[in-house]
Amino acid sequence: MVEKSHFEEVVYLLWYGKLPTSIELETFKETLKAQRPLSDRAMEMLKLIPTQAHPMSALRTMCSLMGSLDPRAHIVNPEESQRKAYHLTGVFPTIIAAFFRLRGGKEPIAPDMNLSQAANFLYMMTGEKPAPEMEKALDAYLILLADHGLNASTFAARVTTGTLSNLYSAVTSAVGTLAGELHGAANQHAMEMILEIGAADKAASYVNRLLDEKKKVMGFGHRIYKTRDPRAEAFREIANNLCVKAGKTEWLEIAGIVESVMMERKKIPCNVDFFSAPVLYVLGFPPDFFTTVFAASRVAGWSAHIIEQQLDNRLIRPLAEYVGPQDAYYVPAKDRK
């Protein structure tokens, strides 16, 4: 899909289970674009979020707020969820870019309806229409992160949906779950690590020290992929092209050494978050915004899962095995020791 398609087409595939005809695709894109603008009320509220808040915290708050502003938020059925899915998928980049600009003391930029989802996202961040290779790189990122089975945030969205709660609540749960560093925030920490290492000759000792201290190296390992993450391979190529063009080959060298130490000592390959980190950095996103870009893509997958859950719902309620004391009994507070 990265080679042949674009994000909007992939979202259509996720939501409708087939690739669109040309006419279907045009209608789909227009419907999605119409959701891009942030209402004045929502913008006022975004401006109330402290600019030192983590961008994922701001996005989670705004996602919840979208539900408070939608008078039909409480109606739960697949058709309503589809409408809400368009809304959140369309508006997430606008929220993220607006928060980015507000944090930098700049006014938010209104979406450009003539641009693709990826190009418009970059345009709202910088005010400049992106070069084709930048648009293509972000589009590839959005495609590769759009869905991935029952990962933690998607599972959280399914659990919330299973209670018959609405799509805004489910996506808010998912954003909160994505924000942790064992899941979506690994991309932020991977880039921060590369920047902190700073030079290729320091990379091996840095990673060895982390491993000696039994710390996790962000951007490596996966619960499902034990040999390789196919998305990481796609990002390796994109990162190579972008970093070479941007004159940032030292990041590639550092990343290469980190990768070989991880393979030599732990036999753990990199995951999607490792080589996608320099890609997002070259595109102009600060590391603490990386996970919001992940969310701007994954919201499409979350929505597809939410609707699928609603079409054949059953409450998700795992059993817990109790392992505490069996002979506990109630003692009045005055008698407790």
Residue 57: CB minimum distance to ligand COA, A = 19
Stretch of residues binding ligand COA (CB under 6 A), selected from 25-33, 77-85, 129-137, 179-187: 179-187
Residue 271: CB minimum distance to ligand COA, A = 4
Stretch of residues binding ligand COA (CB under 6 A), selected from 23-31, 62-70, 181-189, 290-298: 181-189
Stretch of residues binding ligand COA (CB under 6 A), selected from 78-86, 105-113, 211-219, 324-332: 211-219
74 catalytic residue (yes or no):
no
Which residue out of 6, 189, 222, 305 is catalytically annotated?
A: 222
Q: Which of 34, 75, 131, 182 binds ligand COA (CB under 6 A)?
A: 182
- Using only C-alpha atoms, the chain has a radius of gyration, in whole angstroms, of 21
**Cα-flanking dihedrals φ and ψ of residue 148, to 5°?**
-165, 65
Residue nearest to ligand COA (CB): 221
The reply to whether 186 sits near ligand COA by the rule CB under 6 A is: yes
Residue 110: CB minimum distance to ligand COA, A = 34
Residue placing its CB nearer to ligand COA in the complex, 28 or 141: 141
Q: Which of 90, 108, 130, 219 binds ligand COA (CB under 6 A)?
A: 219
Could you write out the DSSP letters of every residue in 281-325? HHTT--GGGHHHHHHHHHHHHHHHHHHHHHHT-----------S-
x-marked contacts with ligand COA along 260-299 as a string, rule CB under 6 A: ------x-x--xxx--------------------------
Residue placing its CB nearer to ligand COA in the complex, 100 or 206: 206
What are the residue ranges of helices labelled H in 127-248?
132-144, 152-162, 167-178, 186-197, 200-212, 230-246
Size of the site for ligand COA (CB under 6 A): 16
The SS3 assignment for 279 reads helix
189 catalytic residue (yes or no):
no
Residue 182 DSSP code: T
**Which residue in this structure is represented by tokens 């309806």?**
113
Residue placing its CB nearer to ligand COA in the complex, 11 or 262: 262
322: Cβ contacts below 8 Å, ≥ 6 apart: none
Contact 179, 185 (CB under 8 A): yes
**Which residue in this structure is represented by tokens 């084709």?**
132
Contact 282, 242 (CB under 8 A): yes
The reply to whether 111 sits near ligand COA by the rule CB under 6 A is: no
CA angle in degrees (0–180, nearest 5) for 283-292-114: 60
The reply to whether 228 sits near ligand COA by the rule CB under 6 A is: no
Stretch of residues binding ligand COA (CB under 6 A), selected from 49-57, 58-66, 178-186, 325-333: 178-186
Residue placing its CB nearer to ligand COA in the complex, 244 or 263: 263
Kindly report the number of other CB atoms within 10 A of residue 225's CB atom.
14
Residue 167: CB minimum distance to ligand COA, A = 24
Q: Which of 100, 220, 285, 289 binds ligand COA (CB under 6 A)?
A: 220
Residue 262: CB minimum distance to ligand COA, A = 7
Measured on CA atoms in the order 212, 231, 155, 8, is the torsion positive or negative? Answer: positive
C-beta contacts of 176-183 below 8 A and 24+ residues apart: 176/60, 177/152, 177/153, 178/56, 178/152, 178/153, 178/291, 178/294, 178/295, 178/298, 179/54, 179/56, 179/57, 179/60, 179/291, 180/152, 181/218, 182/152, 182/216, 183/151, 183/152, 183/153
Which residue out of 273, 305, 327, 335 is catalytically annotated?
A: 273
The residues carrying an active-site annotation are 222, 273
Contact residues: ligand COA, CB under 6 A: 182-183, 186, 216-223, 266, 268, 271-273
